[in-house]
A and B are shown apart, each in its own frame.
Chain A
Amino acid sequence: MAEHFTKSAARNIFYGGSIFFLVVFALLTVHSHFYIKNVSTDESTLTEAVARGKHVWERHSCINCHALLGEGAYFAPELGNVWVRYGGRENAEGARMGLKAWMRAQPTGVAGRRQMPQFNLTEQELDDLIDFLEWTSRIDTLGWPPNDAG
C-alpha cells in the first residue's frame, strides 16, 4: 500500500472528501433550518415579547450559570423546561407568579447555597423573559430532558 498510496492521492482524497462532506453538511443544515421553522418550533407564537425575552436572557448572560436545552455552565439548574417544572402547563398564572417571586427574592443569602444575583428586572422584562422560557419549553426536543428535574 505504501508504494501505491502517494502524497498526491492523499491530497486528492483530502480535498474531494472535504468538499463532499461540507456540501452534505450544508444541505442537511438547510433541511434542519426549515424543519425547525415549520415543525419543531411554533413560530406563530414567537411574539415580540418572546424575542425581547431572549434578549433579556442574553443581556444578563443567564447561560453562564444556567443551562438551556442542556448547553451552558451547569452551575445552576436547566431552564429549558423550567416552565414545566413550575407547573406552567397546568397553571400558567401560578407558574408566572412563582418565577417572578423567585427572581425578585434573589440573592437569598442562604449560607452555603449558590447565589443568583439580583438583576433588578422591570415588570415588563420579567414578563418577556418568562414568555421566552415558556416558548422554549414548547420546542420539540424529542423528549429531552428525561424528567422535570431538567
Chain B
Amino acid sequence: MKYQTQKLAYPYFVAALALFLVQVLAGVLAGTIYVFPNFLSEAVPFHIVRMIHTNALLVWLLLGYFGASYFLIPEESECEIHSPKLASLQLGIFVFAALAAVVGYLFGIHEGRELLEQPFWIKVLMVIAFLLFIYNVTMTVLKGRKTVVSIVLLLGLWGAAIFFLFAFYNPDNLALDKLYWWWVVHVWVERVWELIMAAMLAFLLIKLTGVDREVIEKWLYVIVGFSLFSGLLGTGHHYYWIGTPEYWHWIGAVFSILEVVPFFAMILWAFYLVYQSGRNHPNKAATLWSLGCPVMAFFGAGILGLMHSFPSINYYTHGTQLTAAHGHLAFYGAYVMLNLAFFTYALPALRGLQPFNQILNMWSFWFMTGAMVFMTLTLAFAGILQTHLQRVLAMGFMQIQSQIELFYWFRLGAGLCFLIGAVLFIYSALGPVREQVTISRYSQSPSQ
C-alpha cells in the first residue's frame, strides 16, 4: 500500500462483507420458505425476506465498489484521496441508510417497487452519499495522473449515480413505470456496472500479472465499448411484453447476442494476460477469483441470459424459474466474484499482512462457485419443467409448484453449501492470522 488514504477502503469492505452475510442468510431463509411454506409466514413473510435478500445484495456490491475505488484510485492517480473526511461521512450515511432500510422492511415500511423498495428519504440519503463519493473521487482523479482504468471507473460510477435518479420517477401508468424502471435496473447491472467491473478487473490484472499497462488499457476500451454498444439497446429484451412497440423484439434479440461478446472478450483478456505474464504473484487466491469471475459471468450473464432473450423463446420462458436461474449465476459471476476477488487482493495489504489463509480462501471459492452452479442448474431444470406445464399445457401455477418441489429442496441444499462458503471466505479474509510473516518482502514486491 503506497498511499495512506487507501486505508479508507477497509471499513467499506468490512461493511460489505457483513451485508453479504445478511444477503446469504436471507437467501437461505427464502429457500427454506419454498420447501416449508408456513415457516415464519406470520413473523417475516416471503416478500419481506426477498426484499432483504435483493436489497442487501445491491447495497453490499455498491459498498464494495466504493471501497475498491478508494483503494485503487490513489494508486492510479498517484495521489491521496481528496477528502478522507468526506469518505468517512459517506460511509456513515450509506451504512445508516442500509440498516434503516433493513429494519424498516422488517416492520413493513417500503415503497414496494421491486428492487427499488427503499423509502423516499432513504433513496435521498443514498443519493447524497453517492454525490459525496462522486465528488471525492472525481476531485482525486482530476488532480492526479489520469489512467484509462480510473476514467472508465469514474464513467461507471457517474452512470450509476445518474441512472439511479430514474428510481424517483413512478408514473401511474404501469407500462410507463416499467419502461423507466428498466433504465435503472437494466442499465445499471447490464451496463454501467460492467464499466466498473471491467475497470476493477483491469486494475487487478495489471497488479497480478505485471503485463504492460498500455496493452491492458487498450483492450479495456474495446471491452467496455462493446458492452455499452450492446447493452444500451440490449434493454430491448425487457421490453417485449410490457406494452412497448414490437420493434423491441428484433432489437432485443440482436443486441442480446452482442451482449455476450464483451463477457467472452473478458475471459480471453484475463486468461491471456495471466498466461502471458508467467509471473507467480504471491496472492494466488486473488488470481483464482480474477479468472473465475469472467468465466462465471460469461456463463451466467452471457449464455444463460442469451438463451431466453429471443422473443420466440422468451414468450414461453418469461417470468419462470429460468429467470431466477439466470439471475443468480449472473449476479454471482459478474459482481459478487468481482468484489470477492478485489477483497482477496486488497485486504492483506490493508491489514498489513502477507496474503494469508489462501488455502481457506480458495476452498471458499470452490464451495461458493460449486454451490451456485448447482443452484443454477436445479432452478434451470425447474424452470424448463414449469415452462412446459404452465405455458404449453396451461396448468395452474400452484399445481405446478408442487410438481417441482424436489428442485427447491436441491436449491436449499445448494444455498446451505453457499452459506458455508461465504462464512469460510469471511473468516479467511477478516479472521485471526496464525502465521504472521514480516511484511517487508511483500511490500517491496513491485507487484503489490
The interface bits of chain A over 31-68 (1 if a CB of B lies within 8 angstroms of the residue's CB, else 0) are 11101110111010010001100100111111111011
Contact, CB under 8 Å: A37 / B51: no
Determine the chain A residues whose CB is within 8 A of the CB of B323 once the complex forms: 74
Partner of B324, one of A13, A74, A78, A139: A74
Would you call B83 an interface residue if the criterion is a C-beta within 8 Å of the partner chain's C-beta atoms? Answer: no
Contact, CB under 8 Å: A72 / B316: no
Determine the chain A residues whose CB is within 8 A of the CB of B392 once the complex forms: 146
Determine the chain B residues whose CB is within 8 A of the CB of A13 once the complex forms: 221-222, 225
Contact, CB under 8 Å: A107 / B41: yes
Contact, CB under 8 Å: B173 / A144: no
Interface SS, B side: helix
Determine the chain B residues whose CB is within 8 A of the CB of A107 once the complex forms: 41
A62-B112 contact in complex given A10-B225, A25-B233, A75-B46, C-beta closer than 8 Å? yes
Count of chain A residues with a beta carbon within 8 Å of a chain B beta carbon? 73
B 103-117 contacts with A by CB, 8 A: 110-114, 117
Query: B129 → chain A, closest Cβ, in Å?
Result: 24
The chain B residue sitting closest to A115, CB to CB, is B41
Would you call A124 an interface residue if the criterion is a C-beta within 8 Å of the partner chain's C-beta atoms? Answer: no
Determine the chain A residues whose CB is within 8 A of the CB of B217 once the complex forms: 7
Give A132 to B46 CA distance when docked, in angstroms. 23
Contact, CB under 8 Å: A65 / B47: yes
Contact, CB under 8 Å: B38 / A46: no
Determine the chain B residues whose CB is within 8 A of the CB of A61 once the complex forms: 47-48, 51, 110, 112, 117
Query: B232 → chain A, closest Cβ, in Å?
Result: 4
Query: A134 → chain B, closest Cβ, in Å?
Result: 12
Give A8 to B429 CA distance when docked, in angstroms. 39
The interface bits of chain B over 324-353 (1 if a CB of A lies within 8 angstroms of the residue's CB, else 0) are 100000000000000000000000000000
Determine the chain A residues whose CB is within 8 A of the CB of B246 once the complex forms: 142
The chain B residue sitting closest to A5, CB to CB, is B218
Contact, CB under 8 Å: A59 / B112: yes
Determine the chain A residues whose CB is within 8 A of the CB of B233 once the complex forms: 21, 24-25, 28
Would you call A111 an interface residue if the criterion is a C-beta within 8 Å of the partner chain's C-beta atoms? Answer: yes
Determine the chain A residues whose CB is within 8 A of the CB of B33 once the complex forms: 114
Give A145 to B235 CA distance when docked, in angstroms. 20
Contact, CB under 8 Å: A25 / B235: yes
Contact, CB under 8 Å: A141 / B241: yes
Contact, CB under 8 Å: B225 / A14: yes
Determine the chain A residues whose CB is within 8 A of the CB of B47 once the complex forms: 60-65, 73, 75, 117
Contact, CB under 8 Å: B225 / A50: no
Contact, CB under 8 Å: A65 / B50: yes
The chain B residue sitting closest to A50, CB to CB, is B172
Would you call A87 an interface residue if the criterion is a C-beta within 8 Å of the partner chain's C-beta atoms? Answer: no
Contact, CB under 8 Å: A14 / B221: yes
Q: Which of B112, B224, B316 has the most CB of A within 10 A?
A: B112
Contact, CB under 8 Å: B113 / A141: no
Give A5 to B217 CA distance when docked, in angstroms. 13
Contact, CB under 8 Å: B240 / A142: yes
Contact, CB under 8 Å: B319 / A64: no
The interface bits of chain B over 234-271 (1 if a CB of A lies within 8 angstroms of the residue's CB, else 0) are 01000111111111100100000000000000000000
Contact, CB under 8 Å: A72 / B179: no
User: Which B residues are within 8 Å of any A CB, using their own CB?
Assistant: 33-34, 37-38, 41-42, 45-48, 50-51, 110-114, 117, 148, 172-179, 183, 214, 217-219, 221-222, 224-225, 228-229, 232-233, 235, 239-248, 251, 315-316, 318-321, 323-324, 390-392, 394-398, 401-402
3 A-B pairs with the lowest CB-CB distances in the bound complex, closest first: A70-B319, A64-B47, A144-B241
Given A22-B232, A25-B235, A114-B46, 16 more A-B residue pairs with CB atoms under 8 Å apart are: A7-B148, A7-B218, A28-B251, A29-B179, A35-B245, A41-B173, A41-B174, A41-B243, A64-B117, A72-B114, A76-B397, A78-B319, A113-B37, A115-B38, A115-B45, A144-B240
Residue pairs across A and B with Cβ atoms less than 8 A apart, 14 shown, are A5-B218, A32-B244, A36-B243, A40-B175, A50-B172, A64-B46, A71-B319, A72-B319, A73-B47, A77-B398, A114-B37, A117-B47, A146-B315, A150-B390
